[in-house]
A and B are shown apart, each in its own frame.
Chain A
Amino acid sequence: MAASDLDLVRGTLDLLILKTLSWGPMHGLAVVRWIEQTTHEQLQIEEGALYPALHRMEEKGWLDAEWGYTERNRKAKFYRLSTRGRKQLASELSRWSRYTSVVGLVIAARGAGAR
């Protein structure tokens, strides 16, 4: 993906992670894969950036983390939305949709300018 898209992604990374984890506990790699699959690989993020974000959200208490085992029996750190995380997701979602609709209004408007 282009570097110029990165800023946009970073602003919304938290939202993407929260939304992804709302489907169930996942480890970091699974989160990346999920985002890749659902966006048909149109939205690629620098994968490493995921981890500071995950840890920060864990620090804030939006996520609970625990070590567990994958289907292949590998030790991995799983993240799960906490109650607070769910609330956070809800508020971020509404903020996002408000934001996009406002941006949409501007973009869709015609005949702007001095009268």
Chain B
Amino acid sequence: MSWANEGWRNLRRVFRLPLTRKRIDQEVDDELRFHLEGRIEELMEREQLTRAAAEREARKRFGDFDAYRREARDIDDRTMRYRSRIELLDTLTREIRHSAHVLLRTPAFSLITFITLAIGIGATTAIYTVVDEVVLRPLPYRNADRIVSVMHPATVPGSGESKWGLSQAGYLYFKEQNHSFEDLGAYMTGTMTILSDQGAEQVRRGQVTASLFTTLQARAALGRLITPQDDQPNGPPIVVLSYEYWQRHFGGARTVVGTMLQTSGVPRQIIGVAEPGLSLPRPGAFSSKSDLAGFGVDVWTPMQLNPNDRPVNSHQYAAIGRLEPGVTPEAAQRDLSALMRDFPSKFPTAYTDKFISQFNFRVSVLPMRDEVLGPTLAKALWVLFGAVAIVLFIACANVANLFLVRMEARRRESAIRTALGADRAHMAIHFLSESLLLTVAAALAGIVVARIGLGAILAIAPVDIARLSTVRLNGMSALFALTLALVAGVVFGLIPLARTAVDVRTLREGGRGMTASSGQRAVRNGLVVGQVALALVLLAAAGLMLRSFANLRNVKSGLNPAGVVVFETSLPFSDFKTREQISIFQQEFQRRVAALPGVQRVGATNSLPLQDYANGCTSVFREGRPYEAKQEPPCVATEWALPGFYESLGIQVRGRTPAWSDVDPTGKSRGTAVVTKALADRLWPNEEPIGMGINAGGGGGLQTVVGVIPELRGHGLDQPPSEAVIVTALSGYTVWTVKTASGDPSTLVPGVRRILAEMNPRVPVVNARTMGDVVARSTSRASFIMTLLALAGSMALLLSALGIYGVISYLVTQRRSEIGVRVALGARLPQVAALILGQSMRLTVFGVVIGLVAAVLGMRVLGSLLFEVSPTDPAVLIGTAVTLVLIAAVASLAPTRRAARIDPVEAMRGA
């Protein structure tokens, strides 16, 4: 390339390189005409020809003038284009090299800018990746945008809004009569125990209608999926394996289709293997847990609903619909709402008008994605994204300020360049290459930061956040980071350019014109004010989340998780046909576990508080006190517990706690139950509930209330105290609660396994974990959001402090001579300090005021994310404001000290 440059520069030294086609044409013309003219004169002189004759002769010797001219022009045109390409490339490499050089000459500036931007871009990219993956990505089904969730919202008297699944009758009616869906499917989830040579294994089971597969447009990887023929009442016992389970347990053997799968119940014939990754969108109708990655299912079995079953008011079927093209969820909801009006007349055994009005029983059709994400998660993630975007803004404000300061320091350079004829395009390249070099480098570092940040986010992330565990940095993230960098780079690069036009004056000012114009000062101050305001908003948000979390932590759950290990067992039906068998087994198992070293108490239940507590509700009745005619029975959580449950979990019980003597496997004698105070207050206000009779579940059995739990928040720490009745009873599926000295599942579980191996090797132990873990998980969303907001808030605080420090430092440098004069005139240290601090405080307070206004207006967004704290909590807002002012004061201390140390003589001489 060097030869080309050499030639080109030589040329340009005399005349500029012809850069337009017109100029090329002109030059070729000039050159050829010179030739002809020279010849003509020569001929006229030497051969004494007339001008006309000489011209003729010259043209004859020249040949085809136009052809040669055209040829020369084309060559030059080509050359020009080639050389301007080279020039651009050359300019770029030169500028980049120059920029790198310049940046390295001011390492402090470069490093601060680089780090600030890298962190800002990295944090934003990390959260963007999460939002992209969790909120923006479609569900993992074909044409997922038309998949909707059909549910029954209801207002349970006394315990608020809840959402139920469909009833069997309701589902079948909707499926038959609707005009909105291509297909409608239903499912339940549960477990199944599979028996093999390796022993008993509990797997996740999806019980589905055949239409569920068509609704999801699912395909089989092998064999076939469940068809309507399989899905008949009393249809064949069949099973479809999930691809993953097939791989895991059968090593992907294709011969598995047609063979029998041994379970703790009936053996089932394997008819096929589902496609890889096929999962259910939600764990079931009642679960609050949702996961965009879906609920993984190991085996699929047919629901085999019987349309002739007596309709009952039991809403356990999760339903998924696929909308007809062009039908909106709202229209489908109207369609189903109209159908629902027939329920009382069609299914009088399940629905009454009274029930529908009293429970405000409705039907909802929501895009599945919204249902899965829930109302708060998407919002929470967007809030986080907003938070990091604010951090990025603050970072950019800092960088913009640095660039402004630097630009002033380099005004002479740009002025000289302009004076020497560098055009604006050239200046733009010059400044852009510098800023882009910096921002793109920062973006690359930012991607690394995002990787680390994402790892940290995943480490503290709640397990129940959809798809979060699968989030990885991807091409989109990198693109996002680079886009941020390019935009930032162009903006920063153009800042100085906006000023070059007037800068030539700088030269005349002989270098004295180094004070900033008032306009620049305003921009810089504006940036600081904006920064402080944004930081305040962010800190206030973090503060509110912190208070929410503290409130949540202070809530008395009513149980003591310390040292408690929980795990689940389920007894195979084939071995435990009678309640007596179950009773004997459970009692013996409990006795043996209690005898393990370190174990203090052992209890059991079918539903653990704070974890999917009380799926749905059951109507309860009082002994001897029927409800008034217009009153629906309260629908409350009805759980089972074995003796030892309350003691092991440290649940306070007034009255007495049940003992094994309360358990009658024959079910003949009257059982016992414990109720929560919240329920007792509703059923027997102002009366002693102990000794009362209660019937939970509508059947014949009555239980005597033997104890009252003063407080238990089983549904979640952010929920009101649970209304629940806990019946002393047995069940095959059991969550064991073991109070131990160590609280370490890994020391307990081997002993438990040994016991089970001796008692019945077909009983699996699953899900061993600490109760502390269960409690922490129930607040993990709140703590996750809080942690990230606090992180963003502290970054904002730090960056704003840096910004204030930078601007005040610069101010001190600028007003050096003025301060010198003041000191010379007798100003004392406190006055000088007041001058500088005053300036800093003015900016900060201004920013704080704007930030407070913005916070009061904007914090409503947090609304549902907060727990028992007002979005405009004065303590948080005032605390944040004071913090910011203090930090600003600290940030201005060093520059103030510098100002106070200014030697007047030196300062004035220097000026």
Contact = CB atoms under 8 A, between A and B. Distances in A.
A46 B64 CA distance: 9
B78 interface: yes
Interface in B399-418: none
Given A47-B62, A48-B68, A76-B31, A84 B3 contact: yes
A48 B65 contact: yes
A64 B7 contact: yes
Nearest to A6: B63
Most chain A beta carbons < 10 A, residue from B31, B37, B39, B64: B31
A56 B72 CA distance: 8
Contacts of B78: 59
Contact of A82 (B3, B63, B67, B76): B3
A56 B69 CA distance: 13
B502 interface: no
A76 B34 contact: yes
Contact of B15 (A59, A67, A74, A82): A67
B75 interface: yes
Contacts of B30: 75, 77
A65 B65 CA distance: 21
B456 interface: no
Contact of B63 (A27, A46, A59): A46
B63 A49 contact: yes
B7 A82 contact: yes
Interface in B49-86: 61-65, 67-69, 71-72, 75-76, 78-79, 82
Contact of A46 (B10, B28, B62): B62
Interface in A71-91: 74-77, 82-84
Contacts of A66: 10-11, 13-15
B218 interface: no
A51 B31 contact: yes
Contacts of A61: 3-4, 7
A29 interface: yes
B24 to A, nearest CB: 10
Contact of A55 (B11, B14, B34, B76): B76
A54 B34 CA distance: 15
Interface string A36-69: 0000000010111101101110110100111110
Nearest to B66: A48
B908 interface: no
Contacts of B860: none
B35 A29 contact: yes
Most chain B beta carbons < 10 A, residue from A48, A56, A61, A66: A48
Contact of A64 (B10, B68, B76): B10
Interface residues of B, number: 34
B32 interface: yes
**Interface residues of B, dominant DSSP:** helix
Given A46-B61, A66-B10, A51 B34 contact: no
B157 interface: no
Nearest to B67: A48
Contacts of A54: 72
B623 interface: no
A24 to B, nearest CB: 15
B340 to A, nearest CB: 83
Contacts, number: 91
Contacts of A58: 7, 75, 79
B3 A52 contact: no
Contact of B34 (A48, A52, A56, A77): A77
Given A47-B61, A55-B75, A29 B68 contact: no
A59 to B, nearest CB: 4
A46 to B, nearest CB: 4
A83 B6 CA distance: 10
B27 interface: yes
Given A59-B78, A61-B4, A61-B7, A48 B27 contact: no
Contacts of B39: 29, 47
Nearest to A74: B34
A64 B64 contact: no
B199 interface: no
B691 interface: no
A61 B9 CA distance: 13
B14 A29 contact: no
B25 to A, nearest CB: 13
Nearest to B7: A64
Contacts of B14: 66-68
Interface in B90-145: none
B38 interface: yes
A51 to B, nearest CB: 5
Contacts of A59: 75-76, 78-79, 82
Contact of A56 (B6, B13, B75): B75
A76 B14 CA distance: 12
A82 B37 CA distance: 28
B63 A51 contact: no
A83 B82 CA distance: 20
Contact of A52 (B10, B35, B75): B75
B31 A77 contact: yes
Contacts of A55: 28, 71-72, 75-76, 79
Contacts of A51: 28, 31-32, 35, 68-69, 71-72
A83 B63 contact: no
Interface in B265-317: none
Nearest to B12: A66
B81 to A, nearest CB: 11
Contacts of B63: 46-49
A52 B68 contact: yes
A40 to B, nearest CB: 15
A3 to B, nearest CB: 11
Nearest to A65: B11
Contacts of B6: 64, 82
B318 to A, nearest CB: 75
Nearest to B10: A64
A82 B78 CA distance: 20
B34 A75 contact: yes
A77 B62 CA distance: 17
Given A49-B68, A51-B35, A51-B71, 17 more contacts: A29-B35, A47-B62, A47-B63, A48-B32, A48-B63, A52-B71, A52-B72, A54-B72, A55-B79, A58-B79, A64-B10, A66-B14, A74-B34, A74-B37, A75-B30, A77-B31, A84-B3
Interface of A: 27-29, 32, 44, 46-49, 51-52, 54-56, 58-59, 61, 64-68, 74-77, 82-84
8 contacts: A28-B31, A48-B68, A51-B31, A52-B68, A59-B82, A64-B6, A67-B27, A74-B37
10 A-B pairs closest in CB distance: A48-B68, A46-B63, A48-B63, A52-B71, A55-B75, A59-B79, A48-B62, A64-B7, A29-B38, A77-B31
